[in-house]
Amino acid sequence: MKHATVINIQKYSVHDGPGIRTTVFFKGCPLKCWWCHNPESQNPGHEIMFFEERCTNCGVCIKRCPQKAVEVQEKYPKTDESKCTLCGKCTDFCPNSAKEYVGKDITAQELMKEIIKDEVFYDESGGGVTFSGGEPLVHIDFLNEILKLCRERGIHTTLDTSGFVKWEKLEEIADKIDLFLYDIKLMNNERHLKYTGVENVNILRNLKKLSDKGCNIYIRMPIISGINDDDENINEAIKFVSSLNILQVNLLPYHKMGMDKYRRLKMQYNLTGMEKPSNERMEEIKGKFKNSGIKIEIGG
Ligand code: SF4
Ligand code: SF4
């Protein structure tokens, strides 16, 4: 039986496709976007998040750790990662929920049981299930299996993807996806590489192929001031999108809600001090898309 690692199965989502949805957040992503607000989704393995503001330095995790991986430090306990086996005991026993386990392995059948619990909401609202992350295509075999189960049951499926995958893999599942939420970020390849860690050539090529295939596509474009909101990038994006057959574009203004998670995971955050783009600039960008005849919304 195939397993995938998920972070969360979020019920009653209304921003990840039409109607009321269950959104499955997979763990693992080949991109490392500077503005990522789900950094816990990047590493494919299990992890532990540490909320230092909740920790009272009670020492329970030190006593409970079977590997003696946790040591007393000046203010907070410190984990020696070379000894830690990620058994999760310290998270189970912490009386203050200062440690949180991230990652749960699940089979397609187990996930399906969760998905169908809310079938009545999908039917009434025109919703369904959205596979998000991280990058769901990292778990392509699992995705194939769960998509087949959803199709058999008539559940609408949406894939939220960066599109960074070999075309053959994407083509394999494309016909089983009812709607794509497909990200574009930066049109210039060097800038894309700098800010996401990967090149954009395959991403844009795959998007064009999905469009040629007649797939239903919403394009999502995060807007980050000084990184991709310049006229040159916006104009290039509009030119490219105009050549496609897509349903709409959603502009997603940068927000810093994921910032604290970087500290909790001991990851570096490169956008400290970054503010969300102004409403005026968002409206300007929206207007540019609209003037080119593209259906566009801010948010979503
Ligand atoms: S058990 Fe929790 S509160 Fe106590 S020291 Fe460990 S992390 Fe801190
Ligand atoms: S996850 Fe397990 S091995 Fe790692 S620090 Fe916690 S109790 Fe120790």
For ligand 1, the distance from its centroid to the CA atom of residue 153, given in whole angstroms, is 45
- Residue 92 CA to ligand 2 center (angstroms) comes to 10
- Residue to mutate, 60, 82, 83, 84, ligand 2, most ligand atoms under 8 Å from C-beta: 84
**CB neighbourhood size of 191 (10 A):** 17
Distance CA 199, CA 188 (A): 9
| Domain shared by 157 and 97, yes or no | no
| Residue at a domain's end among 79, 102, 125 | 102
Tell me, rounded to whole angstroms, the distance of Cα 1 from its chain centroid.
24
From the alpha carbon of 67, which atom of ligand 2 is closest? 3
Ligand number nearest CA of 88 is 2
Last residue of a domain, one of 62, 77, 102: 102
User: What are the pLDDT digits (tens) for 169-182?
Assistant: 999 999 999 999 99
Q: Is 94 in the pocket of ligand 1 (CB under 6 A)?
A: yes
Confidence at residue 73, expressed as pLDDT on a 0 to 100 scale: 81
Q: Give me the residues of the chain with pLDDT under 70, please.
A: 1
d(CA 41, CA 238): 29
Residue 75's pLDDT is what? Answer: 83
Tell me, what amino acid is at 221? M
The pLDDT value recorded for residue 229 is 97
Q: Could you tell me if the CB of 96 is within 6 A of ligand 1?
A: yes
Q: Is the domain of 78 the same as that of 132? A: no
Q: How far apart are CA 261 and CA 86, in angstroms?
A: 18
Q: CB pairs under 8 A, 24+ apart, for 68-77?
A: 76/50, 76/52
On whether both 194 and 183 belong to a single domain, the answer is yes
**pLDDT for position 216:** 98
The number of CA neighbours under 13 Å toward the Cβ of 233 is 20
Q: For position 280, what pLDDT does the model report?
A: 97
Structural domain containing residue 205:
3-44+105-298
Q: Report the predicted TM-score, pTM, of the whole model to 2 decimal places.
A: 0.94
Protein residue with least CA distance to atom 3, ligand 1: 55
Residues 155 and 251 in one domain: yes
> Token pair 């939420």 is at which residue?
181
Examine the domain organization and report whether 37 and 57 are in the same domain.
no
80 CA to centre of ligand 1 in angstroms: 15
Rounded to whole angstroms, the Cα distance separating 71 from 101 reads: 19
Distance, in Å, from the CA atom of 102 to the CA atom of 7, rounded to the nearest integer, reads 6
pLDDT at 130: 98
| Whole-number pLDDT of residue 2 | 78
Smallest CA separation from ligand 1 atom 5, residue: 57
d(CA 221, CA 165): 18
Residue whose CB lies within 8 A of the most ligand 2 atoms, among 49, 61, 65, 99, for a mutation test: 65
Residues 54, 39 share a domain: no
Residues 159 and 214 in one domain: yes
Residues 16 and 81 in one domain: no
Instruction: Locate the ligand 2 atom nearest the alpha carbon of residue 99 and give its number.
Output: 6
Measure 77 CA to ligand 1 centroid, in angstroms. Answer: 7
Instruction: Look at ligand 2, atom 7, and give the residue with the nearest C-alpha.
Output: 65
- d(CA 13, CA 160) in angstroms, rounded, equals 13
Judge if 76 and 64 occupy the same domain. Answer: yes
Same domain, 56 and 162: no
How far is ligand 2, taken at its centre, from the CA of residue 261, in Å?
Answer: 19
**Predicted local confidence at residue 166, as pLDDT:** 95
- pLDDT for res 1: 66
Distance CA 300, CA 193 (A): 26
Residue 55: CB within 6 Å of ligand 1? yes
Q: Indicate the residue among 102, 125, 143 that finishes a domain.
A: 102
Q: What ligand 1 atom has the least distance to the C-alpha of 97?
A: 2
Query: What ligand 2 atom has the least distance to the C-alpha of 79?
Result: 5
CATH of the domain at 192: 3.20.20.70
Judgement on whether residues 114 and 91 belong to the same structural domain of the protein:
no
Both 32 and 54 in a single domain? no
In the chain, the number of structural domains is 2
CATH number at residue 61: 3.30.70.20
